[in-house]
Amino acid sequence: MEERTVHRHLAGAELWARSAGEPGRGDEPVFVAGWEDGEAFCATVCSTDKGLRFCRRCPTETARRALATGRAARGRCGAGGRLLGFPAPRGSRTTVAVL
């Protein structure tokens, strides 16, 4: 992958964090910041309110695995897009970035 493509993806990474203070949701990842529209499907669907709700749930399982292990995790969005979640900063168990 070309270096500038990698930088574009990293700049568009979503940041997820382990939820805190909510009973029964201590391991549920919650969206914190960012935007990823590398997939044509996401660029189109995430521009609607309903689509955005779908897209914000899409990386949840990948983010949960990366948070639980402190290591990179791969997954697929329900629309078929490839996902990569990794601790940010390295080894973190509280925040992950998802591409």
Q: Bridge-partner residues for 30, per DSSP?
A: 17
Q: Distance (Å, rounded) from C-alpha 75 to C-alpha 80?
A: 9
23 has a pLDDT exceeding 60: no
More confident position, 31 or 43: 31
49 has a pLDDT exceeding 90: no
Asked if 63 contacts 97 with a C-beta cutoff of 8 angstroms, the reply is no
Q: What pLDDT was estimated at residue 75?
A: 93
Q: What pLDDT was estimated at residue 14?
A: 81
Asked if 62 contacts 75 with a C-beta cutoff of 8 angstroms, the reply is yes
